[in-house]
Structure 1
Amino acid sequence: MDLPLIATALPALGWAIHGGVLARRLAEARRDPLTGLHTRAGWTTRAERILSTSPAALVLLVDLDDFKAINDTHGHAAGDAVLVATADRLSAWCGRTGIPARLGGDEFTAITRHTLDTDALRVALNQPVDHAGTRIPVGASVGVCHRTDLPLPSLTDALSAADAAMYRAKGHGRRNTHHR
């Protein structure tokens, strides 16, 4: 056994393990533990890249309507089931052309490289969720901003426009979709 060789290799091995643990923790911090979607931190860089390179990009915000009532009426496990179903529906809608994220609570966002059918998304998001033998009604308001609606392709501006459109959707009755 070559002790000097082992003595020099151990610190390098320790740093390699430490680096691997840190990389895994960083990756986990960029994913929502409940839904598996990106968090804002994990989504933003990718979204900025898509917005800057895809002329037909579409940015949207989704807010679940009356989500607190779901938790209050059916319990937090049911609320979690609704969040997971929403994430799955948003992911399926985005497919390989976009990236969905959970911003927190009952707020989601997505960016796609191409304009997709937002009416189909609205229909999917407003489907009830079955949980523990109960059918839970779900509603979502969706705000949309097309890259072409922006003077400059800025993610901050796109999210602001989608947010304003989402609140207009809420103002016109729940379960709506509005464009910038």
Structure 2
Amino acid sequence: MSESLAALAAALPLASGWSIHTLWMRRRIEAGRRDPLTGLWTRDAFEQSAARLLARHPYVAVVLLDLDGFKAVNDNHGHAAGDAAIRATGASLNDALVGHRRAVAGRLGGDEFAAAVALSDPIALPWLLRGLHGEITAPFRHAGRDLTVGASIGAALSSDIPWGTGRELSALLRLADEAMYAAKRSGGGWLYPGAIAPAAGTTAGRRTGRPGTHTTQRREAA
């Protein structure tokens, strides 16, 4: 009996060491799937989570957004300000989705972001997009001053597409992308296929070759 206890006592540190190592490895893997600036999921991780939402829920909004005036922030205030704008956008995206338990957000690269949100009722989509646009276009604080960027947002709703290959995430992302650029061509704001016209803010700084908008509310970035 004493030999068994001694063997168990000797094995405990080893087992504990493996547990710590496993936890460390999981955290490393998790960190590799997160965007370092915003903490949002990277493209691959976002697409995997969004695909699971689509498989489990009848109404899922797939949202794409692109910042307007981001180049002007970089050019006029430096790359640190551009990084602050990206961080503020990530925080705004999280804030806008805080009331949605079944949602995932990611940074696809540069100043492009995406979200997938399971809705209890499709009628909630305009309120979701309006709130998201308001959060992102609110001023953020950097180097003692308030800065703003605009946003063009497009969305597609899974229930508007028949079951089958059209319900794949890639198809919804394509529709959301088309809506996003339609909103951008109209001066920014948000748009989805069922909307009559994009809701836009006031014209402001512009990205190269693209119109841009912003509105004024609030946001602070570290």
Q: 2:35 aligns with which of 32, 37, 40?
A: 32
TM-superposition CA deviations, 1:110-138 (whole Å, max 9, x none): 01111441112112211121211122121
Amino acid at match of 1:123: G
Bigger Rg, structure 1 or 2? 2
> Aligned partners of 2:97 and 2:161: how far apart in 1?
21
Give 1:178's match in structure 2, choosing from 169, 179, 191: 191
In the alignment, structure 1 residue 147 sits paired with structure 2 residue 158: yes
CA contact (8 A) 1:59 1:146 kept: yes
| Deviations 1:65-112, CA, capped at 9 Å, x for gaps | 121211111111111111111111111111243111111110100011
- Of residues 41, 63, 66 in structure 2, which corresponds to 1:63? 66
1:163 aligns to 2:163 (yes or no): no
Higher helix share: 1
Give TM-score, length-normalised by structure 1: 0.85
Unmatched segments (≥5 aa) in structure 1: none
Partner AA of 1:107 in structure 2: E
Corresponding letter in the other structure for 1:176 = G
The equivalences for 1:99-138 within 5 A come to: 99-114=104-119, 115-116=124-125, 117=127, 118-138=129-149
Q: So what's the TM-score if we normalise by structure 2?
A: 0.70
Q: SS state of the match for residue 32, structure 1?
A: coil
